[in-house]
């Protein structure tokens, strides 16, 4: 009986101890419409993850993000907008309100996820991974504001991080995207 108890405890422990995330493919978020999407479905794409907000001084970057998406989507770029209300309550709306705003004001066609927290005690697991300096020494560190951008290669590994003031059409962003698409 002890042998079976020990084996059962080991099996339970093994399933409870999740392996640490190695790429964005290890995460699932809900779309802005509430449907779960596993980021493993993005395999083979170059992905730009951006925490967004609709009442921020950087909100006009939606236009630049949409332009990037239109320019590079056929070559394999996927932009993922993730609303967050962590900075001065600049994303107070519901998912439905956010979707309507993005569609009506900026004609956003790239995928939008449901609103999450990007820092603090309720930080989404994806953002815990993105900001982890041990897992991602080149791109880790706390999110400082809305419109922080993380670029991932086709294997789901982070290759660049751009702070909010760096616009989507900046030479640094387009060069990094071109490089990642070329590999």
Taking the C-alpha atoms of residue 48 and residue 170, their distance in angstroms, rounded to an integer, is 14
Retrieve residue 17's tokens: 């101890």
- The span from the CA of 69 to the CA of 32, in Å, is 18
Q: Which one of 37, 56, 63, 128 is the catalytic residue?
A: 56
As a whole number of angstroms, the longest Cα–Cα distance in the chain is: 66
102 is catalytic: no
Contacts of 126 (CB under 8 A, 6+ apart): 24, 27, 29, 39, 49, 82, 116
Element (H, E) at 46: strand 46-52
Span between the terminal Cα atoms of the chain, in Å:
55
Known catalytic residues are 56
């Amino acid at each position: 009986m002890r042998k079976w108890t020990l084996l059962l405890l080991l099996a339970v422990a093994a399933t409870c101890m999740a392996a640490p995330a190695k790429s964005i493919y290890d995460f699932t978020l809900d779309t802005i419409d509430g449907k779960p999407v596993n980021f493993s479905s993005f395999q083979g794409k170059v992905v730009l993850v951006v925490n967004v907000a609709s009442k921020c001084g950087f909100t006009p970057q939606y236009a630049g993000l949409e332009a990037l998406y239109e320019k590079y989507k056929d070559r394999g770029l996927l932009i993922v907008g993730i609303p967050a209300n962590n900075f001065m309550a600049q994303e107070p709306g519901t998912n439905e309100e956010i979707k309507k705003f993005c569609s009506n004001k900026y004609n956003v066609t790239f995928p939008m996820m449901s609103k999450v927290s990007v820092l603090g005690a309720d930080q989404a697991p994806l953002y815990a991974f993105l900001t982890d300096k041990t897992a991602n020494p080149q791109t880790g560190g706390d999110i400082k504001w809305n419109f922080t951008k993380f670029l991932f290669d086709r294997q789901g590994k982070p290759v660049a991080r751009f702070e909010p003031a760096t616009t989507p059409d900046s030479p640094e962003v387009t060069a990094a995207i071109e490089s990642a698409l070329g590999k």
